[in-house]
Structure 1
Amino acid sequence: MDAVGLLTEWIAHLITFILLAVVIELILPNGSFQKYVKMVVGLLFIFILFSPLLRLFHGNVDTWFVSIQQQQNETIENDIERKKKEIQASQRAYILEQMAVQLKNTAAEELMRTYGLTVTDISLTIGESDQIPPPIEAITVELAEEATSVVKPIRIQSSPSTTEQHDDIARFLAHMWEVDPEMITIHLERRE
């Protein structure tokens, strides 16, 4: 029975008992038994007043304790699961950061020497997997031309198109990092 049902039943018992006690007191004549009747009615009233507490303790206490223990266990399990997910998320973020740093360090010198470009940022997109390290789905590389203080001689020549240059750099980086060139996206910032 739910709490509202128990409360309404308890209030109905109180009202019924009070009406019955009033009727009994009106029926009994004033005499020596009246103080004993009032005492018995008062004790019965106290018993009815505290009957919800008695029901609580009269019920199966073992079942009550088991349900409380189950609720505590569920709460603890939920907390552990939440903390586990937080730790995994921070671990994935740390791994991503370290992978980006390693990729940047691996390519920085050769990229500068070959193309005159510096890596400003590397972003990794990883798959949803429990593998460590997680599988890389895409790499976005932000590049910038190296600022030079020496004036270079002017040469007039046709330069490869931007997409060809990006594809060439992507193949170069893919070869260095041993990944598929299709996974790499290049963003080149030109300094004029």
Structure 2
Amino acid sequence: MIVGIVSSWITNIILLILFATILELILPNSSTHRYVKLVVGLMLLVAMLQPVLSIFQEDPEELLKQMDSWGGDSYETEMNINELEKTDIESESLAYISEQVAVQLRGKAQTVLINEFEKEITDLTVSFLSLHEQDDLDNLDSIEVIISDASLQRNETDPPEEEIHIEPIVIETNTTPGSQEENTEGNSLMRSRLSELWEVPEEVIFIREEGGGTSE
């Protein structure tokens, strides 16, 4: 509506200017030339005032509704943009906080697991429910801990020595029920120890052997 009024207004002004220019070129220099300029000037003035006059011709209630609708759409768009920006900031903040907390938890538990369970944390991921401002673990969703044998990690980091020929050893791939129970019991004790060490519920701690399954 507003765009149509402005376009019509500019078009009328341009046409009047062209009309006045053509008349000025056609008419000879005479006394009527001055009156023609006066009439064209008045017409141009009326054309310039046309948007103001058209406002009084419109229904005031309808005009107010259109203005409210336009303002409401702009406000809603601005709110959506602000909400998206807020979501992006929260996501980045959560990722940063999760990383920092993971570093702290890993540093607190690494030595304990090596000494008591001969296990080493190879990766640790912390997930939060929402962004929190306090330095606590109330919003914890889960802590996923990936572990491996500490002796294996140390052997992988040792410098290579002279080559020694070792006969191939055949290992049975079938795991006995006793070993599975022992592994489950060990992970359960480990979860209990980590829960005590980190002061978080056991339910949020998930332990997974590197290359293996998850222990809940």
Q: Specify the TM-score bucket, using the shorter chain as the normaliser.
A: 0.5 to 0.7
Please list the CA deviations of residues 52-102 of structure 1 after superposition, one character each: whole Å capped at 9, or x if unmatched: 6995xxxxxxxxxxxxxxx8xx97xx77x94x6655544433322221111
Instruction: Give the drift of 1:106.
Output: 1.1
Percent identity, aligned pairs only, is: 21
Please list the CA deviations of residues 147-172 of structure 1 after superposition, one character each: whole Å capped at 9, or x if unmatched: 165xxxxxxx9535233332222112
Q: Distance in 2 between matches of 1:17 and 1:126?
A: 68
- 1:94-105 equivalence runs, <5 A: 94-105=96-107
Q: Distance in 2 between matches of 1:114 and 1:190?
A: 22
Q: Does 1:5 align with 2:26?
A: no
Q: Distance in 2 between matches of 1:176 and 1:167?
A: 14
Distance 1:104 1:14, change over 3 A: closer
Q: Distance in 2 between matches of 1:17 and 1:160?
A: 94
RMSD across aligned positions (CA): 4.5
TM-score by length of 2: 0.54
Hey, what does 1:34 align to over in structure 2? 32
Hey, what does 1:174 align to over in structure 2? 195
Q: Does 1:186 align with 2:188?
A: no
Distance 1:116 1:54, change over 3 A: same
Please list the CA deviations of residues 79-128 of structure 1 after superposition, one character each: whole Å capped at 9, or x if unmatched: 7x94x665554443332222111111111111001111110111111122
Aligned length: 159
Unaligned runs of 5+ in 1: 23-29, 56-70, 150-156
Letter matched to residue 4 of structure 1: G
Letter matched to residue 125 of structure 2: S
Instruction: Give the drift of 1:144.
Output: 1.2
Q: Distance in 1 between matches of 2:34 and 2:119?
A: 105
Hey, what does 1:25 align to over in structure 2? none
Contact 1:144 1:189 in 2 (8 A): yes
Distance 1:54 1:109, change over 3 A: same
Unaligned runs of 5+ in 2: 23-27, 53-73, 156-175
- 1:29-108 equivalence runs, <5 A: 33-48=31-46, 51=48, 82=85, 88-108=90-110
Q: Distance in 1 between matches of 2:17 and 2:121?
A: 87
Distance 1:52 1:10, change over 3 A: farther
TM-score by length of 1: 0.59
Q: Does 1:144 align with 2:118?
A: no
Hey, what does 1:66 align to over in structure 2? none
- 1:112-151 equivalence runs, <5 A: 112-133=114-135, 135-146=139-150, 147=152, 149=155
Hey, what does 1:153 align to over in structure 2? none
Letter matched to residue 138 of structure 1: S
Contact 1:140 1:186 in 2 (8 A): yes
Distance 1:31 1:128, change over 3 A: closer
Distance 1:52 1:186, change over 3 A: farther
